[in-house]
Chains A and B, each alone.
Chain A
C-alpha cells in the first residue's frame, strides 16, 4: 500500500472538520482528566470508553486522541482537506456525499474522505453514543490536560456548534493495520450489568438488594452524561439520617430519598450526599453508557475474585 501517498495527503494542508449540525448532543471527548479529583474535578472522558478506544486504534491514533461523542446521531460535518475517520459505538446509518451521489459507509471501518466531503450520522438503530475519531485527533486546546468536555463541571472545550471548524492534529507516524474491526453488537432493549453491593448497602432495608437483583430498571429520558436515571421498584432505606458528602466512583448506583436511582456515568459529581447501594463493575460501564431511554437494565450480583462472602 502506498504509505507515502497517504502521508502526503495527510499533511497536504491543515485539516479540519466543519460542523454543519450536531444532533441532540455532540461533545469532544478523550480518555479523561486525571489527577484533579481532590480539587473537585472529575475524570469525564468518553462515556463508552471501549468504542472510543477502538475508533482511535482503527486509525493508529495514540490512545487518548480526542474524538467526537455523538448522542443519538444527527451529526453532519464537512471535511476541510482530506481526512481519515472511523465511526464506532451505537450503529446507525452513515452517509458520505460531496461532489457525487451520497454513499453509505460502514461502522468500525477506516474511511478516507476527500476535501469537501459531507459526513452524516443518522439516528442509531441500537444504543446511544457513537464515536467519530479522525486520524490525528481533534486538536482543540486541552483544559487541565484533557480535551474532554465535562458537562456537569462546565469544564473543557466548548460544545461544537454549526459553523465551527474543529482542527485536526498532525497524523501519527503509524498507519492503520486493519480496514475493519469485528465488534460485539451494541446492546439493545435489555442490558445485564454486574454490580457489587456497597459501599452503603447497609443503609437500606434488607429487601432493597433483593429488589435490585429481582427486577428490571428502566432508563428514563432524564439521562445524560452525568448519569442514567432509572425507574423501578422502590429501594427502601433503613437509615434516614443525612449522609455526609463522600467520594463517588463511576458506576455508583446512588439512591436519592425520593426519586429515581442514578447510575453515575462519565461526568458524575466527584462527591455526593446520597447513599450508594451498589457499584457496576468497570468492564460493564461502556455497555451501561449505551443504554438509551426505554432500555431495561438488569443487575446481577458480582463478587471480587477471591473476596470473602459478605
Chain B
C-alpha cells in the first residue's frame, strides 16, 4: 500500500490489485475515519476525498491502520441482464480477438463480471473479470452518439452506456435494463463490488 497526498484535498491510496481496491473501499465506506468526505475506488487506487476540516496526515494514518478483509462473496450484490448481441462492432470484435462472433458472445455471457469502479458518466460502471480473450482496443475514432443501453468492450473492461452519449468503446450489443434512473435510490444499477452476468436475450 502506498499513500500519496493531494494537497489538503485528498489522499490517494495505491494498492496491488482490484481485490484490494474493493476490500479497502468496503472498509472505508463501512467505517469512514473522521475527516473523510467521499471514497472513490478505481482500477488500482482508492481516492479518499477529505472533508473541509479533514486532516490529510490523520486520515493517511487511519488508512494505514485499517485491516481490510477480502469481500465475502455472500455479501456481494448480484444481477443478471439480458443482452441482444447484435452490436455494430461485433464483426470487428471477432476480427480483433480472432474468435468467431458466437464465441465472443459465449465468452461475454460465460463470465461473472465485477463492477470495478464507476466514472466517465453517471452510472457508467467499469466491469472486469471477463474472458481474457475479449481484450480489444477502443475504436480509433469515438462515435458522437452511442445509444443508451449499448453493451460495449474496451481493454479488459466491459460496460453498459447508462444513457445516450459520445463513446469510443466497441459495441457488442444492447440491453433494455435501466442502468441509470434518477427516480431510483441509488440511481445507478451498477455499484462498485457488484457482480454481473450477461445473458443472451
Contacts and interface: CB of A to CB of B under 8 A. Distances in A.
Interface of A: 34-41, 43, 143-144, 153-155, 195-196, 198-200, 244-252, 269-271, 276, 278-282, 302, 304, 306-307
Given A38-B29, A41-B122, A306-B57, A247 B10 contact: yes
A251 B56 CA distance: 15
- What DSSP secondary structure best describes chain A's contact surface? loop
Given A37-B49, A196-B5, A304-B8, 14 more contacts: A39-B188, A40-B123, A40-B188, A41-B122, A43-B38, A144-B187, A244-B42, A244-B45, A246-B44, A246-B45, A247-B12, A280-B7, A281-B8, A302-B7
B155 to A, nearest CB: 9
Interface stretch (B75-83, B88-96, B113-121): B113-121
Interface of B: 4-10, 12, 25, 29, 37-47, 49, 52, 56-57, 117-126, 182, 186-188, 191-192
Contacts of A269: 119-120
Given A244-B42, A246-B44, A247-B10, A153 B121 contact: yes
A245 B123 CA distance: 16
B6 A40 contact: no
Nearest to B188: A39
A37 B7 contact: no
Contact of B40 (A244, A270, A282): A270
B7 A281 contact: yes
Contacts of B125: 40
Contacts of B49: 37, 247, 249
A155 B122 contact: yes
A155 B49 CA distance: 21
14 contacts: A37-B39, A38-B117, A40-B119, A40-B188, A144-B187, A153-B121, A155-B122, A245-B117, A246-B12, A247-B41, A251-B7, A251-B9, A271-B40, A304-B56
A276 B52 CA distance: 21
Contacts of A198: 4-7
What are the 9 closest A-B residue pairs judged by CB atoms, nearest first?
A247-B47, A247-B40, A199-B4, A40-B118, A244-B43, A279-B7, A271-B119, A249-B9, A196-B7
A153 B122 contact: yes
Nearest to A41: B122
B37 A34 contact: yes
A21 B185 CA distance: 36
Contacts of A247: 10, 12, 40-42, 45-47, 49
Contacts of A304: 5, 7-8, 56-57
Nearest to A199: B4
Contacts of A302: 7
Nearest to B47: A247
A272 to B, nearest CB: 8
Q: Which of B57, B122, B182 has the most CB of A within 10 A?
A: B122
Given A39-B123, A153-B122, A246 B43 contact: yes
Contact of B8 (A252, A270, A282): A282
A304 B125 CA distance: 34
B43 A245 contact: yes
B166 to A, nearest CB: 11
A249 B47 contact: yes
Contact of A246 (B38, B47, B182, B186): B47
Contacts of B188: 39-40
A95 B138 CA distance: 52
A282 B25 contact: no
Contacts of B29: 38
Contact of A39 (B5, B118, B126): B118
A251 B7 CA distance: 9
A246 B8 contact: no
A245 B187 contact: no
A43 B38 CA distance: 10
